[in-house]
Amino acid sequence: MKFIFYTHSLISDWNHGNAHFLRGVMRDLIRRGHEALALEPQDSWSRANLLKEQGPVAVQKFRETFPELTAQIYDGDFDHEAAIADADVVVVHEWTEPELVERIGRIRRNGGRFTLIFHDTHHRAVSAESDIAGLRLADYDAVLAFGETLRQRYLKAGWGRAVFTWHEAADDTLFHPRPNIARTGDLIWIGNWGDDERSAEITEFLVRPAKALKLDATVRGVRYPEHALEELSQAGIAYGGWIANAEAPLAFARHKATVHIPRRPYIENLPGIPTIRVFEALACGVPLISAPWNDVENLFRPETDYLIARNGEQMTRLLRDVLSDPDLAESLTASGLATVRARHTCRHRVDELLFILTQCGTERVTGKLAAREAAE
């Protein structure tokens, strides 16, 4: 089948975590014999910042790293009707411009034979509710929400015909242990500063513990203001700036531990939704200690796959324990890796997507799925 994904960007992962997941899903679809194409806007904020900061070499590096992936950039004159005419499945990400969301829905309503899906991987349904409420989703066959609490928001508000939970996951062809790489550093955190959604938490659960323990610590990510960079420097934490997601597994491999610091909207309003870095870090076999978050969907096994620090003092103690106790570190590594491999890879999510399509797909899609299943 032919899958078309409207995304903010496939090319750039600069402050754009959904690119990680989409790349993994597209790669798995292609490995299964499907066709996958990403369409991204010419004015993509993420790609523009990547080019400004890193230059064209970053885009070239993406193409070298993911030669099987195809991304087409569209502008205001792009013929969307022609582009999706032969698609079987069209997935539209929630960062797509509202006018285009409506336009694609209208194409579906006016005879499009493809299955049309809206995909939400953000917290705007609670932090900017009017933005999502204003979208016209009546012509969409289904909504994919990246957490059950977000799915319930859609159901309660009456947004979309059918709403399914579809969590993010790790591309385990990239994110896996590198046992031959020495763990020379103590602690790494890969995460963006964002919009002060976790600034106090970064100080409490990362900066102060690293300083107290005098750790060899590194932070990678973007959008750190000057006062944050100064705080990292005073704590003796090295700041490395942006890191391409494909290079993150090597960074994890060089360190003995990492932390999870969720953004406040996910703690307060959308519990149960981890950042994609949790899946990716555990897939790499790096011990993880999390700031408080409520795994209401039982995605993992708290205190077995990872440890939970209720406050900064406890984070300091747990980091000391993990860094000084090889058996504890190995136990966390093995458990977290086992859970991801059993439940949370992009292969699992493609399986889930194909099943969802049997529930809400057009006759064209369900017929192709049935024929493929019979042939297999």
Domain coverage including residue 215: 185-343
What is the rounded average pLDDT for all residues in the chain?
Answer: 96
Do the Cβ atoms of 94 and 119 come closer than 8 Å? Answer: yes
Q: Model's pTM, two decimal places? A: 0.97
**Which helix or strand (DSSP H or E) is residue 27 part of?**
helix 18-31
Same domain for 74 and 48: yes
User: Partners of 239 in the beta sheet?
Assistant: 219
Distance between start and end Cα atoms, the chain: 15
Q: What is the pLDDT of residue 265?
A: 85
* Torsion sign (Cα): 300, 254, 241, 249: negative
Same domain for 134 and 11: yes
Same domain for 98 and 233: no
In tens, the pLDDT along 256-303 reads 999 999 988 888 888 899 999 999 999 999 999 999 999 999 999 999
Looking at residue 94, the DSSP 8-state letter turns out to be T
Pairing mode, if any, of strands 115-120 and 89-93? parallel
- pLDDT band at residue 124 under the 50/70/90 scheme: confident
Same domain for 248 and 107: no
Residue of 301, 283, 15 lying closest to 171 (CA atoms) = 283
Same domain for 356 and 339: no
Do the Cβ atoms of 119 and 135 come closer than 8 Å? Answer: no
| HSE-up (13 A, CA, CB side) for residue 34 | 21
Same domain for 199 and 300: yes
Query: What separation in angstroms does the CA of 368 have from each of 20, 30, 74, 363, 373?
Result: 28, 16, 29, 8, 9
* 219 inside domain: yes
**Residue 116: which CATH number?**
3.40.50.2000
Same domain for 113 and 47: yes
Whether residue 128 has pLDDT greater than 90:
no
Same domain for 286 and 318: yes
Same domain for 249 and 259: yes
Q: What is the pLDDT of residue 221?
A: 97
Q: What is the pLDDT of residue 370?
A: 92
Same domain for 362 and 214: no
Residue of 80, 99, 79 lying closest to 90 (CA atoms) = 80
Same domain for 52 and 24: yes
Same domain for 320 and 218: yes
Q: What is the pLDDT of residue 376?
A: 81
Residue of 122, 149, 152, 129 lying closest to 293 (CA atoms) = 149
Q: What is the pLDDT of residue 116?
A: 98
Count the domains in the chain: 2
* 230 inside domain: yes
